[in-house]
A and B are shown apart, each in its own frame.
Chain A
Amino acid sequence: MAAGGFAEAGADLELVGLQKRFPGFTAIEELNLTIPAGSFFALLGPSGCGKTTTLRLVAGLEEVTAGRILIGGKDVTSTKAYQRPVNTVFQSYALFPHMSIIDNVAFGLRRRKIDDAMGKAHEALRLVELDHLAARKPSQLSGGQQQRVALARAIVNRPALLLLDEPLGALDLKLRRQMQLELKSVQEEVGLTFLHVTHDQEEAMTMADTVAVMNKGRIEQLGAPAVLYELPRTVFVANFLGQSNLFSGQVVAENPDSISVDIDGTRIVVPKARAHRTSGHITVGVRPEKLILAREAPVESADNNILGPGRVIDVSFSGVSTQYLIQIPLVGTIVLFAQNMGTGPIVGEGAEVWVSWHVEHGFGLDDEVETGSRFPADTDTATLALQKRHALMSELGED
């Protein structure tokens, strides 16, 4: 199919043993990933985790160091960007400033000599409700409008795979929400495969069917947003995707369907089904909104984990909810979100409180608490020399 015609539907993307090394540093260690056709897939991670590099490798804007890229089962690893059935919505939109909006949108169609490029371009502009601005130049449009043009310019080509490189990053919150919904509905309408790169966990969770959390050149966990949130596998995922209260300790008892972990004398029970490991030294956690605040010691029961007493050290009100920081001796500081529903206690700083949660809400992680850098340090002489040279060259080059 390649760049020949319109893709009838999205194609699946397969990354096999993908690796990308830049001089002196590894952007992607080894990536194996299959994105099924027609899905909305989000690659979520902090800056520098390799997600944008992954996108650029798929688009053909960077060359892979090792591994293969397959689109719709066809190996495209060695093809050039303009030969791949892939289009990108760039972070900076990258609209051609010297062309009108309609010429921007028709650019890809004309390069492939597709009939009625103008008609199809107008149709794409109508989809993003900007057809009335077709004759304008990009500089005469607002940020949100430019973003929609960038989207139209990409989807008009009906690529088998659409890559989105943090396309909503530059928009303000309200516009971003609106665009998230629009993007999602466009994806459902045209049925293409979307690969969306973002560092905004809320954006990834609202829009994507599947989210892959990426860290230091590797995928930490992959799954549906709700699953990732409910059952994070690693400390990184538990903290990057929302907030978590994490406790480390030894498993002291194993029951048929739950385990007990000893946290410096306090026992925390976690269901076996919600723990990735059930023995040894493990980290368990609970989300701040699942915690219940009490001014008196709650009644002990098999269904509840109770921590306390502790002291409230900070209270911050944020409209729908109030965030409490509670210092509990031997356990540490706990974050708790209380919905401002008019029920439950209202406490001030310094109050003595207990924290409890239903056993079913806890989760057990797979890894230990984060330890240092994952990649071996590039400290051999050759690499250091190369790094020095590149630093020097870029320094001289920028004068």
Chain B
Amino acid sequence: MLAEAITAPQPRNRRQLPSFGLGKWLLPLYTTLALLFLLIPIAYTFVFSFNDSVKSNISWRGFTFDNWTGVCKAQDVCEAFGNSILIAFVATVAATTLGTMIAIALVRYRFRFRSSISLLLFLPMATPEVVLGAGLAAQFLGAGIPKGLGTIIIAHTMFCISFVVVTVKARVSSIDPALEEAGRDLYGSPAQVFWRITFPLLLPGIVAAALLSFALSFDDFIITNFNSGAATTFPKFVYVAASRGIPAEANVIASAVFILAITLVITTQVSSTLRARRLAAKS
């Protein structure tokens, strides 16, 4: 009986995918080419951040760590980078706060023009950036507001709000209203219900929205260029520098941002996998 069970053929638990000649070599080839196509610019940027360049950073002149150690020595690259971080941070905080409030209002409350507002919020995402940027620039000019970091922050907050609302709205509608009712029923004041129930449940959506806003703001060029005046941001700096040769320090910053982002993603993935495994082991 036992021997029979052991020698019995294992049932195939996975359906065999139909295989034919073409797929055997075409798919791997195509995949490799696609990945190369995606990764080459990043690899190039990373490799050339170690280039011992003089004026332009186009031809390979030898390996050095100087660009990484003295990243701020180059012309204004760190100032531009600092501005970008500042703008992205302030715009993200403002857009995330306002956008979350709008999203909650749109899902949880009924009011006049609710559906029109929902629709209008899509407009900034659908409008070409050139039009948005030029339009805003005209408004700032008309209102007599001097261009600078302030106007960039206002512009970025404006287009980020739409993305935040869309992201957070999906999260709000996935929360059972009974949870908030249960909070109120269990003696939670409106503020306590928001901070202890609604907010923690919305948090994944809010974090996603904030990361998206930060990324959108950080690498925005078109709208920024229209509304920045003399202030410079990292994308603007790279664009201007491109005409006379981008300094290797720009590659350093680009590589650093890339490494940071990739580390963040990997860390989250690994920690969530570990947590899932720990939970599975416990139960």
Contacts and interface: CB of A to CB of B under 8 A. Distances in A.
Contacts of A80: 184
The binding surface of chain B is classed by DSSP as helix
A397 B115 contact: yes
A196 B217 CA distance: 54
A23 to B, nearest CB: 11
Interface stretch (A91-99, A218-226, A349-357): A91-99
A108 B197 CA distance: 13
B110 interface: yes
B197 A111 contact: no
Nearest to A105: B186
Interface of B: 110, 114-115, 118, 176, 178-179, 181-189, 192-193, 196-197, 200-201, 279, 282-283
Most chain A CB neighbours (cut-off 10 Å) among B110, B115, B185, B283: B185
Contacts of A108: 186-187
A140 B188 contact: no
Contacts of A396: 114-115
Interface string A115-159: 000000000000000000000100010000000000001000100
A69 interface: no
Contacts of A59: 181, 185
Nearest to A165: B178
Interface in A42-97: 59-61, 80-82, 86-88, 90-92, 94-97
A82 B185 contact: yes
A315 B185 CA distance: 50
Interface of A: 3, 59-61, 80-82, 86-88, 90-92, 94-98, 107-108, 111-112, 136, 140, 153, 157, 393, 396-397, 399
Contact of B186 (A60, A98, A157, A397): A157
Contacts of B184: 60-61, 80-82
Contacts of A98: 200-201
Contacts of A88: 181-182, 185
B200 A87 contact: no
A59 B193 CA distance: 16
A87 B196 CA distance: 18
Contacts of B187: 3, 82, 108, 111-112, 157
Nearest to A136: B283
A279 to B, nearest CB: 50
B197 A140 contact: no
B275 to A, nearest CB: 11
Contacts of B115: 393, 396-397, 399
Contact of A90 (B118, B178, B201, B282): B178
A316 to B, nearest CB: 39
